[in-house]
Amino acid sequence: MKHKLYLSFSVIIFIGFVLFSSCSKEKSENRKNLTIAFYNVENLFDTVDEPGKMDEEFTPGSDKQWTDERYRKKLQDISAVLSSIDKKELPEIIGLCEVENKKVVSDLVHTDKLAAGKYGIVHYESPDVRGIDCALVYRPDEFKVLDCLPVHITFKNEPDYKTRDILYVKGRTKNREVFHLFVNHWPSRIGGEEQTEPKRVAVAAVLRAKIDSVLHVNPKAKIIVMGDMNDEPVNKSLSETLSAGIPGKSNKELVNLMYPDDLQNLGSYNFRGNWNMLDNLIVSTNLLDEEGFQCKDKKGFVFHEEWMEYKNNRGEVSPNRTYGGPNYYGGISDHFPVYFKLQR
């Protein structure tokens, strides 16, 4: 009798364990992820010489010999990268910089590997003298744009200096969470890092003012900043002016999700053998410690695989770029993309 009772009790426990495991697995599988990525695609130009833009070098007759064949290859290569970030599904939101116009973004999202996402596009022409802009693409099945505008940049001491606008997009997810996104491409370090730093600090101040205006209306607003800042997390523009701290170690309103990797000397861009974390992902702290969508790993990641890399004769790895001066290398971009995941 005791043996039968013991056997029955064991069966009940086993069934309960199976049901609990099944429910836990189902709950885990039902969790919703959003992948948010940013990619500097290194001069994604079409082959047409557009009046008013300094795009002559990206034409078939230029020293670069930028042909339709090379353009199509670059589109396919970029789409291969973006579609590989998450093996299960396409990223829901992607920020881009160094795109010439809306047409090249449209050509990109209609490539075979990205077409299933049916991406919507947010793009504005900026006053950059080279004709490169920022853009945001999004899957409309997961994200609805509520508002968008370009944030213009002017410099008091250099009123004739032109740079890329900051792209602002306000949108809502399927579960009705509202996000405020800012896509950036700050002035480069050409001319020297210290000499050009004031320009990046000035852009950071404009961005910070825009973020503060959002937070003034709603202190709990969910902020996502992405871009090639041409500065690293520790630099003044990001750590002081924008005031973005280290995830889990800061009481600031914003944290830089690329800080952890940067502290390990990892980066998204390689300059003369040194890794730089120039591509940054910054979020409001309520994406780390409140309900709704949360930053899954409390950090961002640099995405790269061997087929995206160039290895020199010393065995040093860097992003496999498309051009070096007029020389065509046939690579994808001189940057690796960065990304993070939200989960609820």
Whether residue 91 has pLDDT greater than 70: yes
Work out the pLDDT band at 88, boundaries 50, 70, 90: very high
pLDDT of the residue at 18? 45
pLDDT per residue over 167-216, tens digit each? Answer: 999 999 999 999 999 999 999 999 999 999 999 999 999 999 999 999 99
Say how far apart CA 183 and CA 47 lie, in whole Å: 25
Residues 6+ apart with CB under 8 A from 29: none
Quote the percentage of the chain above a pLDDT of 70.
Answer: 91
Whether residue 29 has pLDDT greater than 80: no
| Helix residue ranges per DSSP H, the chain | 2-30, 68-84, 102-109, 193-217, 236, 259-262, 286-289
Both structure tokens of 50: 């557009």
For residues 218, 171, 101, 51, the Cα torsion angle rounded to the nearest 10 degrees is -50
Of 105, 71, 109, nearest to 91 (Cα)?
Answer: 109
DSSP 172-240: EETT--EEEEEEEE----TT-HHHHHHHHHHHHHHHHHHHHHHHHH-TT-EEEEEEE-SS-TTSHIIII
Both structure tokens of 257: 């999700």
In terms of pLDDT, which residue wins out, 140 or 7?
140
pLDDT per residue over 130-181, tens digit each? Answer: 899 999 999 999 999 999 999 999 998 898 999 999 999 999 999 999 999 9
Say how far apart CA 184 and CA 203 lie, in whole Å: 9
**Cα 296 from chain centroid (whole Å):** 16
Whether residue 275 has pLDDT greater than 60: yes
For residue 326, the number of C-alpha atoms closer than 13 Å in the C-beta half-sphere is: 9
Whether residue 12 has pLDDT greater than 90: no
Instruction: Name the residue with tokens 């579609």.
Output: 83
Work out the pLDDT band at 8, boundaries 50, 70, 90: low
pLDDT per residue over 288-308, tens digit each? Answer: 987 899 999 999 999 999 999
pLDDT of the residue at 3? 52
Number of residues in the chain: 344
Question: What is the mean pLDDT of the segment spanning 255-277?
Answer: 96
